[in-house]
Amino acid sequence: MFRGLSAFPLTPVDEDGVDLTAYAALVARLAGAGVDSIGALGSTGGYAYLTREQRARVAEAAVDAASGTPVMVGIGALRTRDVLALAEDAQNAGAAAVLLAPLTYQPLGDDEVFGLYEDVTHHLSVPLCVYDNPATTHVRFSDELHARIAALPHIGSVKIPGVPTGAEDRVAALRALLPASVALGVSGDWTAVRGLNSGCDVWYSVLGGTFPRTALALTRAAQSGHADHANDLSDALEPLWALFRRHGSLRVMAAAASHLGLTGEVNLPRPLRGLDAEQRREVVAVLDALGLDE
Amino acid sequence: MFRGLSAFPLTPVDEDGVDLTAYAALVARLAGAGVDSIGALGSTGGYAYLTREQRARVAEAAVDAASGTPVMVGIGALRTRDVLALAEDAQNAGAAAVLLAPLTYQPLGDDEVFGLYEDVTHHLSVPLCVYDNPATTHVRFSDELHARIAALPHIGSVKIPGVPTGAEDRVAALRALLPASVALGVSGDWTAVRGLNSGCDVWYSVLGGTFPRTALALTRAAQSGHADHANDLSDALEPLWALFRRHGSLRVMAAAASHLGLTGEVNLPRPLRGLDAEQRREVVAVLDALGLDE
C-alpha cells in the first residue's frame, strides 16, 4: 500500500466533538478520486488532539468510507502504553497500516525512540510507517536511528520530512540504509515533487487530503517518469505553497475545506485557531486563481 | 503561595500504573521538611504521560499528604478542552494553584498561546502559574506575550526557564513587564541561584522534590540576602548539576529516589527509560560524595 499518493484528510472537529458525517464524506471523496491510500489521523487529521474513543470512531469511519482503498491510521501518543492501545483499536477498525510519530514532552534519547518502535512493533500484525516529523515531535532521526528502527519487524515505510535541497542525495543515502522492503515516502508538500522525482515510492500528502485530483496529477507525472511535467505542476501551485509555509498547511487546508463546504467553519480543536477573515480571503483568492475548486 | 521553595516531586509510575503510596510518602516528606509549596504533576511529576483519572488521584493524594502546605497542580494538555477538565479536577482536589504549560503538537502562534490562557483563566477560581518551558513545549514566549498573558485575571506567577547568563537584567526586564501581583519564579536548577539572587520570588525546584533540605538551605540563604553563601551552596552541587545537564534532571532524580528507597526501581513511564546500571552508579557516587542522603 505504500506507493503513489497517500492522501491525508482533515478530521473536522470543534469544541463539541468530531463531525463524523463530514469526515466520512471527505474520505469517500478521496477514494472516489482514486488515491492510492488514505492517511487517517495524521498530523492533518489532528490525531494528537483527540481522545482514544474519538480516534477509534474516526478510524472505523475512515475504513468504512474508503470502500476498499487502504487506510493507514495514526497511532502516536506521548506514552507507549497509549500507543499500544491505539494500535489495537486501529487494527480492530481494519487499518491496513499504522503511522507512528515519536511524540515527546521530555526530550527522548535515541534508545528511547528505538524502544518505542520495538515495543509497538512487537504487538503489531499490520505494517507500520515510521513518521519522522521534527516540526511536531522535535525528534531528530539520525541515519543510524532510521536504520536501527527499519530493521525491526513490521516496518513497512518511512515518512521523511520535505527535502528542499539535495533530494537525490538524501533519497539515495536513505535507500542505502533501509531494507529494500521498506518504502520511502516524502512529505512537506511544497518540495514533495523533488522527493518523488528522486525515487521516493509515495507522497504522504496534505494537499491530497483536500484536493486529491490535483495531487494525483502531480504524483502520476512523477511516477511515469515525466519529472519536468511534475515539476511544472508543483511550480504552478507555488502561491498555495507560500500560504502553507506562512500559516502551516493544516490551517490553510482547514480554511479551504470550509470554503468548499466540506466542513463547518470551525474545524480545528482549540488551542488551534482557524485563519482569520482576511487570511481566509487570501486562501480563497489563491484557490480561485489556481482553479482549485475540485 | 508563590514564594521561597516550591518543590516538584516525581510521580512514581511504571507500566502498571502510579504508585500512590510511594507518592504520598514523597509529598509528606517535603511538607515535613518545611518547603513553602509543592508542585504536584509538574514536568518532574510526569503529568504529560498520565491519564485524567490518574492525575485526579495524584492531585488528591498530594493535597492530602501535604497536610496544609499549599499544592500547585499541573494542568497542561495538548487540547484546551482537556486543560479545562484538568483544571476542574485540580480545584476539586483542593489545589491552591494550577500550573499550565502550553503543550504543542502543531506549533502554536502567539494568539493561540494567549487564547489558551484566556480560555482557561476564564474558568478558574485559584491562581495560575504560567509555565514557560521551551525545552518541553517548544513555545518561545516573547516578552510581549508574557505581558499579555500576565494581564489576564488569576495569573499569580510566571515560571521562567533557567537564566545562565544576565540573570539580573533578565529578571529586571520581566519585573518591569509584569504586574506587581505576579510572582516571578525561576527553574533550571543549576542556575536557579542566579535567579534567586537577582530577585526572583520563588524557586520551582526539581532538586527540592527529592532533596528538600538541601534546596531549602540554598533558598533561605538567597532569601535572607546571603547571596555569596547561596552561590557557594549551589557551586558545591556542581557534580549533580553536571548529571542534570547530561541526562536531564528527571532521569537523575528518578535514579536518586529509587536509590534512596523512596520509589521502586522502575519509576518512569515508557517511552522514557531510567538510567542504565553504570549511569546509576555514577549518580550514587555523586550523591555519596555530596553527602546527599537526606
Sequence-distant (6+) residues with CB within 8 A of A213 are A33, A294
Q: Do B111 and A78 touch (CB under 8 A)?
A: no
pLDDT at residue number B115: 98
pLDDT in tens, A41-51: 999 999 999 99
Q: B51 to chain A: nearest residue by CA?
A: A82
**Residue B271 has which C-alpha cell?**
517511552
Q: Do A270 and B119 touch (CB under 8 A)?
A: yes
Q: Is residue B215 part of a domain?
A: yes
Active site residue A159: yes
pLDDT in tens, A42-76: 999 999 999 999 999 999 999 999 999 999 999 99
Q: Is it the case that residue A293 has pLDDT exceeding 90?
A: no
Please name the residue ranges forming H helices in B4-79: 20-33, 52-66
The answer to whether B44 is a known ligand-binding residue is yes
Q: B118 to chain A: nearest residue by CA?
A: A271
How far is the C-alpha of B153 from the C-alpha of A151, rounded, in Å?
53
Interface probe with B: pick from A47, A121, A272, most Cβ of B within 10 Å: A272
CATH number, domain of B98, equals 3.20.20.70
Q: Is residue B161 part of a domain?
A: yes
Please name the residue ranges forming H helices in A68-211: 80-93, 110-121, 134-137, 143-150, 167-177, 192-197, 207-210
Chain A CB contacts of B108 under 8 Å are 271-272
Rounded percentage of chain A residues whose pLDDT exceeds 70: 100
Mean per-residue pLDDT, B238-247: 97
Q: Is residue B279 part of a domain?
A: no
Q: Do A49 and B15 touch (CB under 8 A)?
A: no
**Closest-CA residue to B285 (of B254, B257, B251, B259):** B259
Structural domain including A182 reads 4-224
Q: Do A136 and B105 touch (CB under 8 A)?
A: yes
Q: Binning pLDDT at 50, 70 and 90, where does residue B208 land? A: very high
Average pLDDT, chain B: 97
pLDDT at residue number B144: 96
pLDDT at residue number B294: 80
Q: Is it the case that residue A137 has pLDDT exceeding 90?
A: yes
How near does any CA of chain A get to the CA of B241, in Å?
Answer: 18
Chain B CB contacts of A134 under 8 Å are none
Active site residue A131: yes
Mean per-residue pLDDT, B246-261: 97
Q: Do A108 and B271 touch (CB under 8 A)?
A: yes
User: What is the residue-wise DSSP string for A174-214?
Assistant: HHHHS-TTSEEEE--GGGHHHHHHTT-SEEEESHHHH-HHH
Look-up of cell digits 504522504: A204
Mean per-residue pLDDT, A148-170: 96
Sequence-distant (6+) residues with CB within 8 A of B220 are B4
Q: Which of residues 71-100 of B touch A (CB under 8 A)?
A: 78-81
Q: Do A271 and B112 touch (CB under 8 A)?
A: yes
Q: Binning pLDDT at 50, 70 and 90, where does residue B293 land? A: confident
Q: Is it the case that residue B251 has pLDDT exceeding 90?
A: yes
**C-beta atoms surrounding A120 within 10 Å:** 21
Chain B CB contacts of A269 under 8 Å are 79-81
Q: Is residue A238 part of a domain?
A: no
Q: Is residue B207 part of a domain?
A: yes
Q: Is residue A9 part of a domain?
A: yes
pLDDT in tens, B11-38: 999 999 999 999 999 999 999 999 999 9
Question: Into how many domains does chain B fold?
Answer: 1
Q: Which of residues 206-245 of A touch B (CB under 8 A)?
A: none
Mean per-residue pLDDT, B78-103: 98
Q: Is residue A281 part of a domain?
A: no
Gyration radius of chain A over CA positions: 18
Q: Do A271 and B116 touch (CB under 8 A)?
A: yes
Mean per-residue pLDDT, B38-43: 98
Q: A106 to chain B: nearest residue by CA?
A: B136
Q: Cα torsion at A247, A248, A252, A258 (round to 10°)? A: -110
Please name the residue ranges forming H helices in chain A: 20-33, 52-66, 80-93, 110-121, 134-137, 143-150, 167-177, 192-197, 207-210, 212-223, 227-236, 238-247, 249-259, 277-290
Q: Binning pLDDT at 50, 70 and 90, where does residue B198 land? A: very high
The residues facing A203 across adjacent strands are A5, A186
The answer to whether B184 and B157 have CB atoms below 8 angstroms apart is yes
The answer to whether B261 and B294 have CB atoms below 8 angstroms apart is no
pLDDT at residue number A30: 98
Interface probe with A: pick from B86, B100, B106, B247, most Cβ of A within 10 Å: B106
Average pLDDT, chain A: 97
* Residue A274 region by backbone torsions, left for phi larger than 0, else alpha for psi between -120 and 50, else beta: beta
Q: Which of residues 108-127 of B touch A (CB under 8 A)?
A: 108-109, 111-113, 115-116, 119
Q: Do A111 and B271 touch (CB under 8 A)?
A: no
Q: Is it the case that residue B270 has pLDDT exceeding 90?
A: yes
- In one letter, which amino acid is A202? V
How far is the C-alpha of B271 from the C-alpha of B273, rounded, in Å?
6
How far is the C-alpha of B217 from the C-alpha of B234, rounded, in Å?
10
**Which one of A103, A105, A271 has the shortest CB-CB distance to B108?**
A271
**Residue A255 has which C-alpha cell?**
480554511
**Residue A65 has which C-alpha cell?**
468510507
Chain B CB contacts of A79 under 8 Å are 49, 269-271
How far is the C-alpha of B162 from the C-alpha of A187, rounded, in Å?
36
Binding-site residue ranges of A for pyruvate: 44
Mean per-residue pLDDT, A138-163: 97
pLDDT at residue number A294: 80
Element at B158 (helix H, strand E): strand B155-160
Q: Is residue B235 part of a domain?
A: no
Rounded percentage of chain B residues whose pLDDT exceeds 70: 100
Distances (CA, A) of B183 to A87, B179, B200: 44, 9, 8
